[in-house]
Structure 1
Amino acid sequence: MKVFLVATEESGDRLGAALMQALKTRLGPQVAFRGVGGYEMAAQGLPSLFRIDDLAIVGLAGITQALPKLISRIRQTARAALDEKPDVLVIIDSPDFTHRVARRVRKKNRTIPIVNYVSPSVWAWRPGRARAMSRYIDHVLALLPFEPDVHKKLGGPPCTYVGHPLVEQIDELRPNAQEAAQRTEGTPLLLVLPGSRKNEIRRLIEPFGRTVERIARTVWPLDIVIPTTPHLQDLVVRETARWPLRPKIVVKREDRRAAFRAARAALAKSGTVTLELGVSGVPMVTAYKMASWEVAIARRLIRVPSVILTNLVLGENVVPEFIQNDCTPDKLAAALTPLLTDSPARRKQVEAFARLDQVMEIGVAQPARRAAEIVEDVAKRGKS
């Protein structure tokens, strides 16, 4: 079986690598991989067409600036997939790139089955994409449990909840007895998560720093930890150099996970990390800022009552979010300070997060294995 995979961001690279490993477990030497991916997929045996480092973009402004390069890489990737004639094409997340590849491939060769791993956020904005996807996607592998129903209601392709990769990382994310005690006793540890991209960090690091300063006036002593990635470490060090309370900056995976297990609360950028915190049982306050013109467009398009994944999965707005003009140190500090004590606000979040086990099938779901089963099935049906 020849599988052509396309992933252009780190998160997609991790998913792709796990899928490749699961397919090798199922098929052994009878599977071969081609396509586009990062370091983890390369370690599983994928010879990537090009490096994906410079394709990681965010927001409408980022897409506009990178458009010429994106178009060139999209064409290159689609041509390679058509030349390979794989048994199945698997596109992973990054819909601004991967779905354009899929449409080009389907237009030129309708016999190549196409699987979409990670559904676009059709539940949040542009719901018409679901019906449009049914013309070029044969199956969607969903990370969020409510997405199959959404695709069914919107007329999208067949969609299966395979499980979020976080469900396989519970031992890394949840505290042992000693770490659980640290969450409620001794010096509180506050996680600060300003984002995983440079423009996000530059917009949020200043209000987050002033928020920490305000909290430290009433909660003392206080430990601050900022988990980040190696390529962003220097930026975070520079941007936090003027903070009156200096944070500990960690970049290794094991140090990041240890911080999650010990944290009493978190101040985080809206995004995937909110689900990571929820699964870890860490109460949080979330915030986001973007360019004013992006906000104007987003407000016209977004159709959900919250942009926090944890809230959407739970079906309840448990986690407070402060977006744009509401993202001020005073408001953030007022919402975050009670989470560092045994308050009703803290207990409400902790109790809600306990429901995630059932909703997300934690302890039951095996995302990569489920995904591999469906990919193999779609490939076999494509041959028949």
Structure 2
Amino acid sequence: MKVLISTLEPSGNLHLESLLSEFGDEVEIGGIFDEKFGKPIVSSREFGVMGIFAILPKIKLAKQSLEKMVEIAVDFDKVLLIDSPAFNLRLAKKLKEKYPEKEIIYYILPKVWAWKSGRKKFIDKYVDYPIAIFPFEKNIFEKTLYFGNPLLEQISYFREEPVENGIVSFLAGSRKSEIKNLMPTFRELAKEFSCEKRLVVPPHLDLEIYGDISDFKIYRNSEEALKNSEFAYICSGTATLESAIMGVPFALVFKTSSLEYSIGRKFVKLKYVGLANIIFDKLGICGEFHSEHLQNLKIKELIHEFKNSNPKKFISNSKILRKLLNGNPSKEIREIIFGKS
């Protein structure tokens, strides 16, 4: 079985790793993904940017990659798209128009509940198997399948009791622009703590982009850093959901350029930014799961979050979250790939 893969995000490659483990040697892959999985036509690391202005230089690369993906698709049995809607929706459309009989599986769907609701029609029209990762997405798309969230397959540590050791972890994101915006605040914040301060650096990134990291102990794996941390400060994204599932209290922090922030606030219609908060809000579960600090970051307020966290309540909410997200999506997707669903 030959499967054409398209995943441009670090988080998408994390989920691809779980899928490939489930597929075993029965699947041969090609397309766009991290180089550690084989030989892509272009490495997903080439697309590792965030923000309107950071994306502009990548437009030419995206167009060339899109054309190449459509060209080589003729040699593949099925198509698996993971996240990255700006690229993958265009790819789905072009593939279905050229190869109408070729099945397209879309895993980690566009967040049309947050913005760009018009993307729903592309999923309904061009995707054969839309696979959601949040329970409230089940009724959004016409053919949605929900098998649980992939993070439950990847996380091995689940906190049952509060930890009080003073260790604090800092996760500045997986994109260079996120890191550049947050590290000045993280460096200043770290000076307020006397115990161990852990900085999580994703495996695909070089330490040089972080600047001065002399106050931090470096970790390359987020779960390893978080599992015996008392508290964490985490950039918005998948890592916030990971920490919420694990039961490790944290504060979400986010900062970008003033213009990009203004544009985002205009078009993104959500009460919360953090995924755990969004899940609880969408499902009508009362209360904020974790705090959120956006754009105007104040050190005193961030220190207050650490000193006044409620780890017992956090762990209780974490257990609720795990039940909502429990499942085995990789196994179910394997069944779809091999036509057994």
TM-score by structure 1 length? 0.80
Partner of 1:258: 224
Equivalents in 1 of 2:80, 2:60: separation in Å?
24
Partner of 2:328: 366
Q: Deviations over 1:79-98 (max 9, x none)?
A: 211x32x3321111111222
Equivalents in 2 of 1:5, 1:225: separation in Å?
34
- The correspondence of residues 1-384 of structure 1 with structure 2, limited to 5 A, is 1-24=1-24, 29=26, 31-42=27-38, 47-81=39-73, 83-84=74-75, 86-149=76-139, 151=140, 156-171=141-156, 173-174=157-158, 183-184=163-164, 187-214=165-192, 216=193, 221-230=194-203, 231-236=205-210, 238-241=211-214, 246-251=215-220, 253=221, 256-315=222-281, 316-325=287-296, 327-339=297-309, 345-361=310-326, 365-377=327-339
Greater helix fraction, Structure 1 or Structure 2:
1
Conserved in 1, the CA contact under 8 Å of 2:105 and 2:131?
Answer: yes
Equivalents in 1 of 2:276, 2:259: separation in Å?
27
Conserved in 2, the CA contact under 8 Å of 1:137 and 1:157?
Answer: no
Conserved in 1, the CA contact under 8 Å of 2:4 and 2:30?
Answer: yes
Shifted more, 57-66 versus 71-80: the winner is 57-66
Shifted more, 260-269 versus 90-99: the winner is 90-99
Q: Deviations over 1:291-331 (max 9, x none)?
A: 22211221121122111011122334221111112x22122
Runs of at least 5 residues in structure 2 that lack an aligned partner in the other structure: 282-286
State the Cα distance separating 1:9 from its structure 2 match. Answer: 2.9
State the one-letter code of the partner of 1:235.
I
Conserved in 2, the CA contact under 8 Å of 1:198 and 1:232?
Answer: no
Equivalents in 1 of 2:333, 2:37: separation in Å?
16
Structure 1 vs Structure 2 CA RMSD: 2.3
The alignment partner of 2:233 has SS state of strand
Equivalents in 2 of 1:55, 1:371: separation in Å?
25
Shifted more, 58-67 versus 68-77: the winner is 58-67
State the one-letter code of the partner of 1:353.
S
Conserved in 2, the CA contact under 8 Å of 1:141 and 1:160?
Answer: yes
The alignment partner of 1:71 has SS state of helix
Equivalents in 1 of 2:6, 2:234: separation in Å?
29
Conserved in 1, the CA contact under 8 Å of 2:8 and 2:84?
Answer: yes
Q: Deviations over 1:217-251 (max 9, x none)?
A: xxxx4221111134332333x3334xxxx221122
Equivalents in 2 of 1:195, 1:15: separation in Å?
17
Equivalents in 2 of 1:189, 1:328: separation in Å?
20
Equivalents in 1 of 2:28, 2:190: separation in Å?
50
Conserved in 2, the CA contact under 8 Å of 1:170 and 1:280?
Answer: yes
The alignment partner of 2:116 has SS state of coil
State the Cα distance separating 1:287 from its structure 2 match. Answer: 1.1
Q: 1:70 to 1:335 in 2, by over 3 A?
A: same
Identity %: 25
Q: Deviations over 1:250-279 (max 9, x none)?
A: 22x3xx433211111111111110111011
State the one-letter code of the partner of 1:18.
S
Equivalents in 2 of 1:292, 1:300: separation in Å?
12
- Following superposition, which runs of at least 4 residues in structure 1 exceed 6 angstroms of deviation? none
Equivalents in 2 of 1:375, 1:305: separation in Å?
37
TM-score by structure 2 length? 0.90
Partner of 2:284: none
Q: 1:33 to 1:192 in 2, by over 3 A?
A: closer
State the Cα distance separating 1:189 from its structure 2 match. Answer: 0.7
State the Cα distance separating 1:67 from its structure 2 match. Answer: 0.9
State the one-letter code of the partner of 1:13.
N
The alignment partner of 1:146 has SS state of helix
The alignment partner of 2:168 has SS state of strand
Q: 1:53 to 1:357 in 2, by over 3 A?
A: closer
Q: Could you say which structure has the larger radius of gyration? A: 1
